[in-house]
A and B are shown apart, each in its own frame.
Chain A
Amino acid sequence: MTTKSKRPTPLKKKKISGAEIIYRALEQEGVEYIFGHPGAVLLGLLDLFLQRSKMKHILTRHEQCAAHMAEGYARASGGVGVCLVTSGPGATNLITGITDAYMDSIPIVCLTGQVGTSMIGNDAFQEADIVGMTHTVTKHNYLVKRTEDLAKTLKEAFHIARTGRPGPVLVDLPKDVMLGEASFDYSDEVDIRGYKPRTKGHTRQIQRVAEAIKESKQPVLYVGGGVIHSEAHKELLKLAETANIPVTWTLLGAGAFPSRHELSLGMLGMHGTAYANKAVDECDLLLAVGSRFDDRVTGKLSEFAQKAKIVHIDIDPTAIGKNVSVDIPVVGDARQVLLEVNKLVKKQKRSLWQKRIDRLKDDFPLSFDAPDGSPIKPQEAIVALSEEVGDKAIVTTEVGQHQMWAAQFYQVSFPRQFISSGGLGTMGFGFPAAIGAALARPDKLAIDIAGDGSFQMVLQELATAVQYQIPVKVFILNNYGLGMVRQWQDLFMDRRFSEVGMEVAPDYVKLADAYGAKGIHVSDRADLRPAIREMVETPGPVILDVVVDQDELVFPMVPAGGASKNMILQDQRKKKPLKGKLSALPDN
């Protein structure tokens, strides 16, 4: 990316402060925005944001949201997101965001202030061993002990974050290291002997993939976030169209393949389409690209894609063979591998398989009922939003029912259009992520499809959005409670709803007003589309509070740990209550 050296030579000799070194390194990396929250140990660095203008510091209201904004920026732009927080609580507040980025392979660099090196280990004021705490949730982390090491460390941090399987890198910056002086040299190429990610797939393996495609009668492509990270969507489209292979995607793979394409199967897994899950059940070749056989995708492992030969293309060798044994593993960058596969794949018709898929789509469509006079159904709200704004928008989601409905019903056309917290499932992710996405893509409209429960975890960031007039829209599907847990209680706990009601909730119109944003409230079907248009047309941050049917459940649903043959296709509550099913749930 932007690592061209434009540094004038005299700087090499002149000594500058550690803070200045950090600032210049960030400039060299082409950083546009830094999401942060200040603290005493950062004074020197913060001071530089007053004098310079190229990079903009966005003052968040909570550090967790700084990390999510950096993630949103990274997910929407494809670049590296950056956050900057102080030591102790500032750093520990980042951990949820860092973990979220780690689980979803998002490149962010987190800079944390630290007490002076002589104080480390003394339980000093606002000291926390953030490096120790984040060993298992960062791709790599550093404690910088000498000012001389700053430039090299930062350059490595950005390199590690964005290359290979991307991920979060944390750099802990003691106060005295930032106050000390050293010369600045950013010209050295990064060379880490223990880190040489393999991007080019093995030639023989690639041949075997092409042969398997040729021999297969009923193949399915199962694609994940790796296709988006490596920008392999064009190669994916070419492969699917040339060899006539239907494509299903994970939550993080949404956007890798156009959802309106005739080969599209939609999302698979726990709340995937029935036809995607059935196609996987029936396929004789499963081509996994940049996906990791997560339990929300596979359900019961021993019954997942039982008839299929499995190809797994992934840049991370640890992802291969972790959950499922693979017949043809290919370690490499998804784009590079698919480029090579495409050279070997010839036009193939699969009219029988295509017919079968069409039949599955006809027999088991995604559906919902929205009879006249009923409350607004959350699904219809998403359909309306998708139809009204479509490809003008980048949508983010929180976590829960609304997230699954968004994945099912929002028509996604391009990579990085759909941004969601997949692996960690972090409620409160979507709103700050939308702020980051809005800054990364000013040409698009950033909309957070939110649940009321999730939004209430992070609504303080309204102040951030208003302060910088970031035109982010929050589309709340408000069911006054925690819908997904309520759904599990509905299905598996005999409708005993414990601790999921949030009837006491803010008046979102007043809330928006209190922060200086615009709020709109709808509860009637007839007002829904006009309200969406008003939300879109109103400049600046807007909350659109859509009161939806509390009793609506997400279907289809494969119960956790179940096989897709146990999929619950639609609401059966009126027919027979699902009692005593909890014992049938082995895991989470």
Chain B
Amino acid sequence: MARNAEDNSQNMTHIIAVLVENKFGVLAKVASLFSARGYNIDSLCVAITQDPSISRITIVTRGDAQILEQIRKQLSKLIDTIRVMELPAGEIAERELVLIKVTAPKEKRAEVLQIVEIFRARTIDISAEALTIEVTGDEGKIRAILELLRPFGIKEIVRSGKVALTRGAKTLKSVKN
């Protein structure tokens, strides 16, 4: 019977959506909270919502159930936080946008473009030595295309971090529960 949750050691990935006041300094407060309490951030994505007074932050984090509960509660405790919700895996549509600059000299270009096509990615820049590819998808798709492109030589990469919405008509209401 372990009272202290120190003994749980699952290190699952979780996606947390946070609605916050769209104000100066709010992101810094969220980020400070994570660093001060030693929580992980795998990715963090923030932008304005349909209501210009509200921003939505999507955080991908890791931890056991107890840590996750603390993260949710601590985020809720911030005065500028309007709502916090863990997005349940399997019931969400999640996407990440990745831009990949891949080495693609003339002789290899066709091969790279074929991969781009198969993955329904897009070529957004082209030069003699390199292609820049835009790909959107869930984690599995991103991992797969990166694996296939790696042998060609990935010169540079930028990832947006995950964003996600729950499936169906339900929304994250902007009222603190």
Q: Which residues of A contact B (CB under 8 A)?
A: 131-132, 135-136, 139-140, 143, 145, 160, 192-196, 301-302, 304, 306, 316-318, 321-325
Contacts and interface: CB of A to CB of B under 8 A. Distances in A.
A322 B70 contact: yes
Contact of A318 (B2, B70, B174): B70
B3 A325 contact: yes
Contacts of B6: 301-302
A304 B3 contact: yes
Nearest to B20: A194
Interface of B: 1-6, 20-21, 24-25, 28-29, 32-33, 36, 66, 69-70, 73-74, 76-82, 174-176
Contacts of B5: 321, 325
A194 B79 contact: yes
Contacts of A196: 176
Contacts of A323: 4
A193 B82 CA distance: 6
Contact of B21 (A132, A194, A322, A324): A194
Contacts of A136: 32-33, 36
B73 A318 contact: yes
Contacts of A322: 70
A316 B70 CA distance: 12
A323 B67 CA distance: 10
Given A301-B3, A321-B69, A135 B77 contact: no
A188 B77 CA distance: 24
User: Top 3 closest A-B pairs, CB basis?
Assistant: A301-B4, A135-B32, A136-B36
A193 B175 contact: yes
A160 B79 contact: yes
B2 A140 contact: no
Given A194-B21, A194-B82, A324-B4, A317 B73 contact: yes
A132 B28 contact: yes
Nearest to A324: B3
Dominant secondary structure of chain A at its interface with chain B: loop
B3 A318 contact: no
Contacts of B28: 132, 135
A317 to B, nearest CB: 5
Given A194-B21, A194-B176, A318 B32 contact: no
A131 B25 contact: yes
Given A143-B25, A321-B69, A192 B79 contact: yes
Contacts, number: 65
A30 B45 CA distance: 43
A161 to B, nearest CB: 11
A192 B82 CA distance: 9
Contacts of B174: 193
A193 B176 contact: yes
Residue in A193, A302, A324 whose Cβ sees the most chain B Cβ within 10 Å: A193
Contact of A302 (B4, B21, B82): B4
A139 B79 contact: yes
Contacts of B176: 193-196
A318 B176 CA distance: 15
B138 to A, nearest CB: 30
Contacts of B73: 317-318
B81 A302 contact: no
A292 to B, nearest CB: 13
Contacts of A304: 3
19 contacts: A131-B25, A135-B36, A136-B32, A136-B33, A145-B24, A160-B79, A192-B79, A194-B82, A301-B4, A304-B3, A306-B3, A316-B77, A317-B76, A321-B5, A321-B66, A321-B69, A322-B70, A325-B3, A325-B4
Contacts of A160: 79
A317 B4 contact: no
B34 to A, nearest CB: 10
A359 to B, nearest CB: 27
B80 A194 contact: yes
A7 B4 CA distance: 53
A317 B29 contact: no
B70 to A, nearest CB: 6
A196 B1 CA distance: 35
A404 B167 CA distance: 56
Contacts of B2: 302
A140 B176 CA distance: 17
A413 B70 CA distance: 36
A318 B70 CA distance: 6
Contact of A194 (B24, B66, B78): B78
B68 to A, nearest CB: 11
Contacts of B70: 318, 321-322
Contacts of B76: 317
A149 B81 CA distance: 20
Contacts of A193: 82, 174-176
Contacts of A306: 1, 3
B71 to A, nearest CB: 10
B46 to A, nearest CB: 16
A136 B3 CA distance: 28
Nearest to B19: A194
Contacts of A194: 20-21, 78-82, 176
A46 to B, nearest CB: 27
A88 B149 CA distance: 51
